[in-house]
Amino acid sequence: MTPPTLDDDALAAAGRVDRDRLWQRLMEIARFGATGRGGVNRQAFSAEDAAARRQMADWAASLGLHCLTDRIGNLYLRRPGRDPEAAPVMTGSHLDSQPTGGKFDGAYGVIAGLEALQAIAQAGLETARPIELVAWSNEEGSRFQPGCMGSGVFAGEMALADLLPLVDAEGISVEAALAGLFEATPGLPARPAAAPAAYIEAHIEQGPILEREGRTIGVVGGVQGMRWLTVEVTGEAAHAGTTPRAARRDALKAATRMVVALEAAFAEADPEDILRFTVGRFEVEPNSPNTVPARVFFTIDFRHPEAAAIEDLCGRIEGICRAQAQGCPVTVTTISGLPPCVFDPAVVATVRGAAERLALSHRDIMSGAGHDAMNLARLCPTGMIFVPCEAGVSHNEAENATPDDLAAGTRVLAASLVALANR
Ligand code: HGY
Ligand code: MN
Ligand code: MN
């Protein structure tokens, strides 16, 4: 695909982006799941998630956008184009958050998309193609693993039937949680199947580069690969006071040896500090002070820009864990994987061209964080727009960004959407 032209219409749409309206809506959507420390806890398919979606549906109605959904609960706000049969251009991100998440991760891309649609309307523009704003279901994967469920089903990378039986820590299934969501957001028609012509997502960088270099826009070229695994270590419950060390099969001590050994192996294999290895969840059973742990379950989040490195290093995990088991059987399971992805050069050029036409400082950048755009990139020409966040902090209640940067990214988004929807 050759890059579309960024004509006067594209610039007119950008000119209608309203910084204060954008900020106001971001603060309003942050009320849903607001925590006492300035962040949000709006987990997938929760009551807070449903309330935020109802707010989106209200805004859609006020802007004359059609609100639709699908069987995995993705929320679509559709602006008709001149040619109703044309494949839509899509933009969006996610409304679900981490348990101690920030106001901007995901929500920015959804609210920026809404602001861009309103700006396009206020510029009096009719685009050739429809434009759809989407809030993807369960991007974070915190309550239900894996993440990116909504975009994964939409892109045909995940089968809904495989996801519905999965349960959260309380034993609630995706199916039951979805039923609750549909009940809380009734009356949304099903989106007719239509592959997008292109997809573009605005997001905070969730890293320090743009802020450190004083750049306003990140022209995202792609996303590093990621893989999630779980490790289950089985020991034997025993009395803390009467069981000698030699007679113990202590699942916790085995699991901690495994984590330390993995950290050492990966650090040795990665002197330039490129790979990202995280154990974010660590559950002990029966979790009692005076019982030797019988079972430990922990998660591994592994990221790297190169597929071969992911394959090689993740391939070593089971052996490293077994070597530390000392009589505690261990089961390592891969639960999800997204290969490194490179975005479509024409969409990337559209974002860069919009930043240039709008005289915004920008740089090319690769994404360390995962996004729904990774699934969309397997379906259609895809790109992303980054804006700085304070100190690169994210997945943290202190996450912050400035109204000016957020508005600048939204102007690039509005211009890019018009250009893509008119080609
Ligand atoms: O985990 C991620 O990279 C994304 O922020 N959910
Ligand atoms: Mn995100
Ligand atoms: Mn996130």
The residues spanned by each domain of the chain are: 8-224+340-421, 225-337
Comparing CA positions, the residue from 209, 37, 192, 22 lying closest to residue 109 is 22
Q: How distant is the alpha carbon of residue 300 from its chain centre?
A: 17
Tens digit of each residue's pLDDT (9 = 90 or more) over 136-153: 999 999 999 999 999 999
Q: Which atom of ligand 1 is nearest to the CA of 141?
A: 6
Domain with residues 225-337, CATH architecture? 2-Layer Sandwich (3.30)
Query: Which residue type is seen at 261?
Result: A
The pLDDT of 354-372, averaged and rounded, is: 98
CA distance 16 to 370: 30
Q: Is the CB of 370 under 6 A from ligand 1?
A: yes
Q: Is the CB of 222 under 6 A from ligand 1?
A: no
pLDDT score, position 5: 77
pLDDT band, very low/low/confident/very high, at 2 (cuts 50, 70, 90): confident
| Rg of the chain taking only CA atoms, in angstroms | 23
97 Cα–ligand 2 center, Å: 8
The residue behind tokens 């727009």 is: 385
pLDDT band, very low/low/confident/very high, at 3 (cuts 50, 70, 90): confident
Tens digit of each residue's pLDDT (9 = 90 or more) over 167-188: 999 999 999 999 999 999 999 9
386 Cα–ligand 3 center, Å: 14
3-state DSSP helix/strand/coil percent for the chain, to nearest 5? 35, 20, 40
Q: For the chain, what percent of residues have pLDDT higher than 90? A: 98
Q: Pocket of ligand 1, candidates 371, 389, 399: which has the most ligand atoms within 8 Å of its Cβ, to mutate?
A: 371
Contacts of 273 (CB under 8 A, 6+ apart): none
CA end-to-end span of the chain: 10
E strand intervals along 43-120: 66-69, 75-79, 89-94
The pLDDT of 396-421, averaged and rounded, is: 98
Domain 8-224+340-421: which topology?
Answer: Aminopeptidase (3.40.630)
Q: Which atom of ligand 1 is nearest to the CA of 369?
A: 3
pLDDT score, position 257: 98
Closest protein CA for atom 2 of ligand 1: 370
Q: Pocket of ligand 1, candidates 108, 136, 139, 375: which has the most ligand atoms within 8 Å of its Cβ, to mutate?
A: 139
**Any idea which ligand is nearest the CA of 92?**
2
Contacts of 310 (CB under 8 A, 6+ apart): 225, 227, 302, 304, 337, 339, 340
Closest protein CA for atom 4 of ligand 1: 370
**Any idea which ligand is nearest the CA of 39?**
3
Quote the crossing angle between the two packed helices 345-357 and 403-421, to the nearest 10°: 120
Residue 368 is classified by DSSP as S
pLDDT score, position 4: 77
pTM assigned to the model: 0.97
CB neighbourhood size of 200 (10 A) = 33
pLDDT band, very low/low/confident/very high, at 249 (cuts 50, 70, 90): very high
Report residue 181: phi and psi, to 5°. Answer: -65, -45
Q: Which atom of ligand 1 is nearest to the CA of 371?
A: 4
The pLDDT of 188-204, averaged and rounded, is: 97
pLDDT score, position 306: 97
**From 5-14, 283-292, 317-326, the region with the lowest mean pLDDT:** 5-14
Comparing CA positions, the residue from 83, 9, 401 lying closest to residue 216 is 401
Tens digit of each residue's pLDDT (9 = 90 or more) over 58-72: 999 999 999 999 999
370 Cα–ligand 1 center, Å: 5
Q: Output the CA–CA distances (angstroms, integers) from residue 216 to 24, 201, 321, 349, in the order listed.
A: 20, 16, 44, 17
Q: Is the CB of 225 under 6 A from ligand 1?
A: no
pLDDT score, position 136: 98
Contacts of 418 (CB under 8 A, 6+ apart): 7, 9, 10, 13, 120, 125, 127
The pLDDT of 270-298, averaged and rounded, is: 98
**Mean pLDDT rounded to a whole number for the chain:** 97
